[in-house]
Amino acid sequence: LFIVSLSLMSMFFADSAPTAVLISFIFSFGYGSLYPTLSALMIDKAGEDERGKAMGAFNASYSMGINFLAFPFGVIARDYGYEAMYFVSGCLVLAGFILYTFFEREKVS
């Protein structure tokens, strides 16, 4: 989550095509690692008899997040530019990373 959020926020500062391509490679690494990692986390946290339901809920929420946020991010891109859209999306992912880290530490303690 951290790599994805930083790469999205970095697009705000991309001033050339090579920089944007480099940031895109970093994003691809983070995003490519994100889905299997979160899937494994869901499987680990769910009970053996609840794994199918947990994966269904995970896949549904993942898809809904992508689909439902497309319109608001399109409005942000239209009104404020793509840089602002990438920065806002990176901030949302970073907030998710911080919240997850905070709440997981609370449960472990």
- What are the tens digits of pLDDT across the range 50-82? 998 999 998 998 889 889 999 999 999 999 999
Phi and psi torsions of 97, nearest 5°: -60, -45
Q: Mean of the pLDDT values across residues 17-34?
A: 91
* DSSP-assigned letters across all residues of 16-47: SHHHHHHHHHHHHHHHHHHHHHHHHHHHHHS-
Chain mean pLDDT for the chain: 89
Structure pTM? 0.74
DSSP letter (8 states) at residue 13: G
Asked whether the beta carbons of 8 and 80 are under 8 A apart, the reply is: no
Asked whether the beta carbons of 11 and 86 are under 8 A apart, the reply is: yes
pLDDT higher than threshold 50 for residue 109: no
Q: Would you state the pLDDT for residue 107?
A: 59
Alpha-carbon gap, residue 19 to 25, rounded angstroms: 10
Sign for the CA dihedral angle at 22, 58, 41, 108 comes to positive
Asked whether the beta carbons of 24 and 3 are under 8 A apart, the reply is: no
